[in-house]
Amino acid sequence: MDQTLVNAGFDIELLIGSRYIEYILLSFTETGSFPLQPVVEGVTIDIFQPSDVDRLYEPHPDAVPLTASAAAFDAELIFNHPSGANVRITLEVLLPNQFVTAFARFGLVSDPDPQGNPTNHRIRIEVLALEVSAGIQSVLDDRGISNATLLQNVKAQADRDVPLPFVGAGQDVEKIEMRQLPALDGGPIAIGFYMNLRLRNANEPTSFMPERGDVFLAMNFLEDGRDIAFAVRKDFMKDLSAHQKFLFAELNADGEYHYPMRRDMFDPTSEQIGKLFGVTIGPGIDMNGQFTGEISVKIRGEYFIENFFDPDFTFTLTLVPHFEGGVVTWSHRTDLSSDLAALLSFLVLGFAGLIIYGVAAEIVDDSLMTQEQRDQLTTFLSSLPVRVPMEFVRWDPFYTTIHQIVARVDEWIVNDKGIAFIGRAALGKETKPVDHVVIRTEVRNALFEIERLDYRVQDHASHTAWLNQARVFSATDRLPFLQNAAEPILFGLTAQQIIDRIPLKKILAPLDYLPKKVHLDDHKIFRMMCITPREIQEQITLLERNFRNQTRTQILNDQGSVLREAARAALEIELGMPPTLEQIEARFQQKINALIAEALAAYRESHEYEVELEQAVSDVLRLDMAPNDYGLLQRQGILKVLGYDLIERHNRKHRPGTVILYYRDRADWDSRDNLLNMLKYALDHTQP
C-alpha cells in the first residue's frame, strides 16, 4: 500500500470499492432484511444469490437455499448517470441470465444537533431507477406488474441507512466528508470517507486543532482486487497523544493547569494518586529498530507513595494484532508488575476513546485486566474498521447477534507514517449476551426434580418477529430455548443448555444472587429463595418512581396555586419586571422538584420505605431451591450466591462417597444477613 497517496490532510481516510457495497447489500439478504423472495402484487419473485459469498460462518442449515449465480449482486461504481446514481447493482431475478439493474445513490447523510452542527452521520442507499432485461419485462407484462410498481417495491426493500465505520465516535467527530474517486493507474473506482476528530491542542477545554483536510486533494489508494483501504495522516498519532493528555488537564487552586492521575480518572473529586507526564501512541518497534505491526501506548507519570520517594513510571500497553485468514484478532501485554498494573490499568481506560466507532474486537485474556477493562480496551482497537456492524438482531432471547462486514486484511502497516491496511470484504457476525436477563424461577417435573431454569427476558415483546423460531435465514444465529406458554416473558433452558452457551458468550453468566428467605427443616436450611441485585434495584426504582408521582400529584393538589404565585412573585422581584409564562413554569417546576426530592429523602429513611421495599421484593421472589441445587449451579458457572462460602459436606454414614453442597455464613458485625436469621417461608407451590 502506498502511504504517500494519503495526503488529503484529514485524520482518517477510508476507501471502499464496489465489492464492499455488494457485501453491504448481501449482509441484509443474509438476515432477511432484504428478502430474496419478495412478493410483488401477490407474486413471489426469486432473487438469486452470488455463488461465491465469503462468509466467516456456516449458513444456517434450515435456511431455504436459493439459486446461486456468479453474476448476482454485481456492483459497479459509476459517474454521471442521468438519474444521479453513483452505483449500478445487477440482480439476477426469476430465471438464469435475466437481470434487473438497479441504479442507486450511495451518499452521506447526517442530522443537525441543537447547535446546527451535523451529527449521526450514516450512509444512505437509495434506488433511483431500474432497467430490466427483455425476459423480465415479458414476465412483468404477463403478470400485470408495471415498472413503476417494481421500482416502488425494490425501493421499499433496498432503501436504507447503514452505519459508517466511524459512527461510534459520537461527539468526538468534527467533520466527515465523502467523495467518489476515479480509478488511478487502472485500479478500481472508490468511494472515500474522510473524518476529523475533535482533537484538543491545549489545556483549555475549548482549544481544538484548527480545521484541516481537503477532499479535492484526496487520491485513490485502493488497489485492484481489494475492497477496503484505511489510513491515518502522518502526524495523527502524535496529535492524538497530545489530545489524550489535554483531556485530563485540571485547574489547581492557583489557577494553573496540571495533570493529576486519579484513582478514578473520570471523577475529578477522586483521590489523586500521582501525576501524568505524557502519553505516546505510536508503532511498536523491536530490538533491531524494525516496525512490528503492533500499536504501543505509553503512559508516563509519577505515582505517589506515602512516606517514600515517588517513583516515575512508564506504563506501556502493547496491542498485538493476529491474523487468521486475514481476520484480525488481538492480544496485549504490559510491562509493569501485577500490583501496579492492576491499579494503573484503570488509567489506560482513559485512552480507550482514541479513534472509536464502536465495533467489537476480541482481546485475549490477560490476568492483569478485568473483563470489564478488556471490553473497554476493545474500543481502542475498534478504531480500525476491520469489523463494521450492519445490523443488531435478537434471533435468540439471551443474546444479540451483531452482523458485520469483516475485512480480510492483506496488508497491515503500523509505522512512522501512521496506521494503514488494505483488504477484502467478508460477512461475519459476533454475539453479545443481553445484560438484563435473569433466572426468575426453576421448573420441576412430576417427581419434583429441577428440569430447567426459566429466565425473565423483559424486552422479548420488542423482538417477537426475530425470536420466531420459524424465521430462519442464512445468517440466523439461534440456539434451542423453550418459551413459557403461560408466561411469555419467561424462556427456559436446561442446565446443560446453559453450560453450552457460556463459552460461546451467548448467555450472561454467572448471575449474582442474594438469599432473601429460607425454609428450615430441623433447624437446617432446607430451601432458599434468592433474587438478583438487579431485580432488587428494579423494585427500588419502581417504588421510588411511584412515590415521586404520588407526591407530585399531592403537592399540585394541595399547594399548586400557592407555589405558582410564589414563583411569579419571586421572579418579578429578581427580574424587576413581570416574568413570562415560560419563566414562571420553569421556576414552579423547580419548586415542585425540590419538594419531591426532600420528601423522597425522608421516605428513604423511614420504616415505611423498608417495609414496602421488602414487600415489593417478596412479590417477585420465585427462585426456590435447596442449597445443594444452588451450589451445583454455582460450580457450573451458571450463578453465584453472594456473601456466603460454598462448602462441601462429605457423606460418610449415609450414602458414603457422595457430597452435599451448602452455604456457610461469613463472620461479620451484622448477624441479620445470617441465613438462619432471614425471613422464613413455608413450602407451598413445591415440595421436597
pLDDT tens, residue by residue, 585-603: 999 999 999 999 999 999 9
The count of C-alpha atoms lying within 13 angstroms of the C-alpha of 90, restricted to the half-sphere facing its C-beta, is 18
pTM for the whole thing?
A: 0.86
pLDDT tens, residue by residue, 177-188: 999 999 988 789
For 293, the grid coordinates are 505491526
Percent of the chain with pLDDT over 70: 89
| β partners of residue 282 | 296
C-alpha 638/C-alpha 433 separation (Å) is 13
Pick the residue with more confidence: 502 or 341? 502
C-alpha 218/C-alpha 484 separation (Å) is 58
| pLDDT over 80 (residue 108) | yes
pLDDT tens, residue by residue, 552-575: 999 999 999 999 999 999 999 999
Do 423 and 16 contact (CB within 8 A), yes or no?
A: no
C-alpha 151/C-alpha 90 separation (Å) is 14
Give Cβ neighbours of residue 69 (< 8 Å, ≥ 6 apart): 48, 49, 50, 51, 92, 96
Closest among 242, 184, 181, 182 to 209, alpha carbons compared: 242
For 634, the grid coordinates are 454455582
Closest among 624, 631, 637, 641 to 684, alpha carbons compared: 624
Using pLDDT thresholds of 50, 70 and 90, give the confidence band for residue 269: confident
| pLDDT over 50 (residue 168) | no
- Mean per-residue pLDDT, 82-86: 93
**Residue 89: helix, strand or coil by DSSP?**
strand
C-alpha 530/C-alpha 553 separation (Å) is 35
| pLDDT over 60 (residue 343) | no
Closest among 424, 384, 429 to 19, alpha carbons compared: 424
Give Cβ neighbours of residue 198 (< 8 Å, ≥ 6 apart): 171, 172, 173, 174, 208
pLDDT, residue 243, reads 87
Q: How far is CA 259 from CA 126, 244, 247, in A?
A: 49, 11, 9
C-alpha 362/C-alpha 331 separation (Å) is 8
C-alpha 394/C-alpha 436 separation (Å) is 14
pLDDT tens, residue by residue, 521-542: 888 899 999 999 999 999 999 9
- Mean per-residue pLDDT, 335-341: 57
- Mean per-residue pLDDT, 480-485: 95
| pLDDT over 50 (residue 378) | no
Sign, Cα dihedral of 172, 178, 182, 183: positive
pLDDT tens, residue by residue, 46-68: 888 888 899 999 999 998 777 77
Give Cβ neighbours of residue 366 (< 8 Å, ≥ 6 apart): 331, 332, 333, 334, 374
Segment 70-73 long-range contacts (CB within 8 Å, at least 24 positions apart)? 71/97, 71/99, 72/47, 72/48, 73/22, 73/25, 73/26, 73/29, 73/49
pLDDT, residue 240, reads 86
Work out the mean pLDDT of the chain and round it to a whole number.
86
